[in-house]
Every structure is written in C-alpha cells, then in structure tokens.
Amino acid sequence: MADRTADAGRRALGAAARRLMALAAAASLLVGCGVGLGGHDAKDDRVARGTAPPRDGFIGFFTPEAGSVVGTGMILSLRFNRTITDRAAVERRITVTARPAVTVAGHWFGSRRLDLRPADYWRPGSRVTLHLRLRGVRGAPNTYGGQSKDVTFTIGRDQRSTADAASHTLTVRRDGQLLRTLPMTAGAPDHTTYNGIMVISEKYARTRMNGRTVGFGGEYDIPDVPHAMRLTDSGTFVHGNYWSPPDVFGTDNVSHGCIGLRDVRDPGEAAGQDDPDDPDRVFGGRTPAGWFFDRSMVGDVITVTGSDDRTVAAGNGMGGWNLGWSAWRSGSALR
C-alpha cells in the first residue's frame, strides 16, 4: 500500500510538473516592449540534439548556432543550466579561435552566464569556432560538465545602425557606406529607450506583445507586431509599427521603449506599392520596417543616442560592447 501511495504521489508530481512546464511555455510566447525577456526564445535548441543534462551535471546553452552567419557585433554567450561556483575551471575549458586570428576574452554575468568577445567588432568574413571541452570538468560540488564539441559560425558583412532618439532617425550603414536614413519613433518621455550599443539577438517576422505580461498592465496587447528584432533581454526591440499615425515617424517619440519603424499590419500588402513621391514608400516594394528587417541579421549593431535614459547594462542582451576592453577582461575568472 505504501509503495502504491508513493507511486501515485510521484505520478501526481510528474503531472503537476508537466502542467507547469506547459504554462511556462505558453507564457513564453508573449513579449513586451521595454521589459521582460520572453517570446520565442529558442536557446534550448542550441545544444547537441539528443543531449540531456545528467542529474548531477551541467551543460551550456550557446549562441550563435553552428553554421550560422551573423553580424560583426555578435557576442558568444553560454547560459548554464546549473550554478557554476568554480568559474575558472569552466572558463579554462572554453576557448574561441578565429581566422583571421584575434584575441577573445570571457566575462561572467553572475554564476550561470559566460559571454565571450574580442576587443573590437569581428572582421567581416571571419570564421569563428567555439571549443567546448567541459566533459568531466567540475563546475560546482558534485556537478560536472557533459559537453565536448566545436561550434563554428561565420561573420557576415559589417552593418551598423544609429538610432538617434533626438532627431527621430535610424541611419543604416554597411561596410562604412550609408544605405539609408529611416524616420523612426523611440520611447516616450515616461518609457524612454536605453542609450548605448545593442545587438540584434532574435528576429521574428511577426510576434505578439502584451503589456500585461511585462508590467504595463492593459496599456497594449498587439497580437501581430511585424518585423520584430530583439535588442535586449529586458524587452527592447526594433519593430514595425502600423498603429501609430504616419506623421509620428521622424517627429515624435511615442513607444514603450522600443524603436518603431513605419509599417503595415499585413506586410504583404506593401509589395509593389512603391511611391516615388513618398520617400517612406521607395523601398523595393517594402515598408521602412520591412526594408530594414530584410537587410538585418542577428549580430548587427544598433547604437542608440539622444535618449533621456541611462546606457544599457552590459549584461542586458549583447550589451557587452558598452564596456571597454579592460573592463570586459576584468570579468574573466582567469584574470
């Protein structure tokens, strides 16, 4: 009887855990503008398929993915499933090589995240490999690593954009040449946009943004935000905006902290609608937001200036470029 009762208790706990996981998965489909890491976060897929962390082990969920092509601002990031207390032992077994060669250093953000970057942005065309040699490495008492693999990706072209919240413009440059200046809107006075260097970490052709999930109450719930690209873990995006009046873009800041570009509700509606008399419509059949989305990739740098706010924290998304090289290296356990 005792065994049957224990088995029933275990089954009940398992069912409850599954329900909690389902609820968490459903909640993660909601993202917010200005705060809250959420939305279609696929980091769990960036572990070798078929690999599960042992009960007493740790693994690192890494970005970027193997085989990907990313922008010159990409920062490698490992997020561990367990607390790491022996950071030096773990960091010592994680190395990065590149062709052409460049020095790469790590920086810990807490006990579960290690980011790695060079002193300056990557050179376009570089081939970068993350070497994980964590199998058997002690990360904490009774906690050992289980990974041994290489992850190689490529650096694409060098695209950097500047979002000036004061002039309401997004200036896009590729390989040093001006591509276009787009009218934009940034955070309103009570929801200002962070200043500083940010990097695109995720792209979604369409996503939902719900203020109730991120501390803004019922201020907004937009199920189909187009052309959304994440800049921070706390929820700063650059995205299409079809709900604000057209004359807002280039003249006023009205968002909850995101960078908004003029768009339509159904991006397909913009196809073939170029208007030579309207500079906002000469984008090869795309809206300004669609044009920028098509030309952007994960790892591209967007620097915000002119906002009445502080500089984004180094650990908020790929904000690590806001630290100088000495400050960055001071966060290594191997210093």
β 148-155/69-70 pair status:
parallel
Is 33 among the catalytic positions? Answer: no
Strand order in the sheet with 143-145: 57-58, 143-145, 138-140
DSSP string spanning 72-127? TT--EEEEESS--S-HHHHHHTEEEEEES---EEEEESTTSEEEEEESSPPPTT-E
Q: Answer for the pair 111, 85: CB distance below 8 angstroms, yes or no.
A: yes
Q: Which amino acid is at 176?
A: G
Is 258 among the catalytic positions? Answer: yes
Residue with tokens 């591509």: 179
β 143-145/113-118 pair status:
unpaired
Which residues lie across from 113 on neighbouring strands?
79
For residue 108, how many other CB atoms are within 10 A of its CB? Answer: 18
Distance, in Å, from the CA atom of 147 to the CA atom of 80, rounded to the nearest integer, reads: 11
Among the listed residues 107, 191, 227, 239, the single catalytic one is 239
Among the listed residues 33, 227, 256, 258, the single catalytic one is 258
Buried b (16+ CB within 10 A) or exposed e, 133-170: ebeebebbeebbbbbeeebebebbebbbbbbbbebbbb
Task: Give the residue among 207, 219, 299, 296 at the shortest CA–CA distance from 257.
Answer: 219
Burial of 64 (0-12, 13-18, 19+ CB in 10 A): buried
- Interior angle at CA 216, CA 213 and CA 221, nearest 5: 65
The catalytic site residues sit at 239, 258
